[in-house]
């Protein structure tokens, strides 16, 4: 039979291991332009994530206030930095734009979200 202190140690290790797995989702760390920002017309949207991304399943889409997609280029995960994803933008008119992101971490966990920025 395991001693109570050994059992507590085993349970603590199991808890720590499961907590680390819970944080394995790719979430944004830095967004350019950032959520709620008012900026001059940017030439790209870029997001740095906390985990490496699977390029095939991760994407960024930028839409205008009417919901029309404004990026014609596909988003891309940087081959040298798998935590960085960006998409090129055409010249944007003043207005509110929505960034929708889908990030699939290299371990297969999928996250998604959105935020707005304004072009002045």
C-alpha distances out from residue 61 to 15, 17, 20, Å: 37, 34, 30
Domains of the chain: 26-119 (2.60.40.1220)
Q: Please, which pLDDT band fits residue 13 given cuts at 50, 70 and 90?
A: very low
Q: Please, which pLDDT band fits residue 97 given cuts at 50, 70 and 90?
A: very high
Instruction: For 40-92, write each residue's pLDDT tens digit.
Output: 999 999 999 999 999 999 999 999 999 999 999 999 999 999 999 999 999 99
Q: 0.85 exceeded by the pTM?
A: no
């Amino acid at each position: 039979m395991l001693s109570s202190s050994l059992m507590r140690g085993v349970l603590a290790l199991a808890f720590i291991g499961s907590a680390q797995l819970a944080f394995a989702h790719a979430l944004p760390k830095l967004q350019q332009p950032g959520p709620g920002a008012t900026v001059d017309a940017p030439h790209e949207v870029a997001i740095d994530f906390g985990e490496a991304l699977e390029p095939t399943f991760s994407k960024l889409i930028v839409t205008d206030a009417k919901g029309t997609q404004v990026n014609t280029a596909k988003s891309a995960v940087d081959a040298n930095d798998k935590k960085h994803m960006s998409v090129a933008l055409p010249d944007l008119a003043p207005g509110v734009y929505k960034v929708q992101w889908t990030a699939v971490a290299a371990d297969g966990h999928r996250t998604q979200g959105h935020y707005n920025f304004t072009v002045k």
